[in-house]
Amino acid sequence: MNKFVAYLRQPEWSPYVAGSGLGFVIIIALVLSNALLPAPTLVGASGAYENLVAPIGTAIDPANTYFKFIMPAGLTWAVWVLVGIFLGGLASALLSGTFKLRKMPDQQWESVFGKSVVKRWVIVFLAAALLEYAAGIAGGCTSGLAISGGVVLAPASFLFIAGMFASGIVTAMVIYRKKY
Amino acid sequence: MTIIAPLFIGLLFGFFLHKGGMTRYHKIVNVFRFTDMAVLKFMMSSLVVGMIGIYLLTDLGIVPSMPITPTYIVGNLFGGLLFGVGMATAGVCAAPIAAGSGEGRLDYIIPGILGMLSGALLFGLTYNQVYPAINKIANSGAITLPEVIDASHWLVIGLFTAVTIVLFYILERAIRMRADKTKV
């Protein structure tokens, strides 16, 4: 038992173990959603943000079909999953003593982008906006499309992963230049 | 509507994301530099475990159905291309932003979440102009790989698992050499 607790307290696990854990979470999600929802669902994050912003969307554009019918406002299943993700990160960080209020990434960022907090925050904002917009076009993010789609063997997932890696590699090459 | 079930799912999800290091800038960026393949190992492990479990449960009749994500070739690819730019620039991803917020990362809590909400808002407001056009091209519906190549899904799963194992083996040997060479 002690060894188990000690393992839970480790700050980082093998990605194989953590990834397999997520695989089990997906299986659990399938079982629970089949039992509790009208239609089964796996995991995903990008949809929840759309539910959360829907009230603002309909306020700006009352005739907007997306926020009225496709991703309506409300504390949906997806939103509660997102809340859970936050709590899960919190729990894991507290267990391993890595919870810390910080404004910048721990390593590597500053050697490439410098120490400016403003720069980091602006870049994160723009990147996150781009991410979520792209997830809308693709039909999901890494968890909602790549993983949840991949486990049911939908080609959509693998197309998305291909695109993601292609542009990610080029982007990293451009940003890191000589240090790539 | 029940709250405990999705909270529980999210809790485990966020927990594993954090333990896997997915909430850290250098972990996400370095997979695109081929110096730290944790993201790829994480994703493929979850895919292998997930697909075996899901198809097993469905074949055994324990679970009535699985949700098949529809395939829109242009939408999936183009969305992926845009997504990769954001991911490789800031080292963030949709769910890790929530998990990293729980870790105390203010750059995720404030600009991260605001950015996600803004992107979602922009998408919803421009939906009618953008989405139907893109997704009319090559909308294949809720197809699966086994259907496309006309094979048993266990054959596809077996092949995928085998490729994954081989890939993991190669990654462990080859990337270790590269990581030592290119430390930033």
B101 touches chain A (CB under 8 A): yes
Tell me how far apart the alpha carbons of residues A164 and B93 are, in angstroms, rounded to a whole number. Answer: 11
| Structure-token match 């792209």, residue found | A134
How many residues belong to chain B? 184
Mutation for testing the A interface, residue in B1, B65, B68, B69 having most A CBs under 10 Å? B69
Run of H or E residues at B140: strand B139-141
Measure CB to CB from residue A26 to each of B6, B50, B100 and give the nearest one: B50
Percent of chain B surpassing pLDDT 70? 92
CA B82, chain centre distance (Å): 14
Residue B179 has pLDDT above 70, yes or no: no
Is there a contact between B26 and B91 (Cβ–Cβ < 8 Å)? yes
Residue A176 has pLDDT above 80, yes or no: yes
| Structure-token match 């183009």, residue found | B78
Beta-bridge mates of residue B72: B139
Tell me how far apart the alpha carbons of residues A178 and A21 are, in angstroms, rounded to a whole number. Answer: 36
Nearest partner of A33 among B48, B50, B65, judged by Cα:
B65
Average confidence (pLDDT) over A68-85: 85
- Interface contact flag, A154 B69, Cβ < 8 Å: yes
pLDDT in tens, A22-64: 999 999 999 998 888 888 888 888 888 888 888 888 888 877 7
> What integer pLDDT is reported at residue A101 of this predicted model?
92
- Interface contact flag, B143 A22, Cβ < 8 Å: no
Is there a contact between B146 and A162 (Cβ–Cβ < 8 Å)? no
Average confidence (pLDDT) over A51-78: 81
Distances (CA, A) of A72 to A55, A107, A128: 8, 39, 21
Residue B26's pLDDT band (cuts 50, 70, 90): very high
The model carries a pTM of: 0.90
Mutation for testing the B interface, residue in A46, A124, A148, A167 having most B CBs under 10 Å? A124
Helical packing angle, A155-176 and B25-33, nearest 10°:
90
Tell me how far apart the alpha carbons of residues B15 and A134 are, in angstroms, rounded to a whole number. Answer: 25
- Interface contact flag, A88 B114, Cβ < 8 Å: no
Q: Which structure tokens are listed for A139?
A: 């039909």
- Interface contact flag, B77 A162, Cβ < 8 Å: yes
Residue B184 has pLDDT above 70, yes or no: no
Structure-model confidence comparison of residues A89 and A70, the more confident one? A89
**Least confident window among A40-49, B70-79, B107-116, B136-145:** B136-145
B98 touches chain A (CB under 8 A): yes
Structure-model confidence comparison of residues A6 and A134, the more confident one? A134
pLDDT in tens, B43-97: 999 999 999 999 999 999 888 888 888 888 888 999 999 999 999 999 999 999 9
Q: Which structure tokens are listed for A23?
A: 């695989």
Taking only Cα atoms into account, the Rg of chain B, rounded to an integer number of angstroms, comes to 19
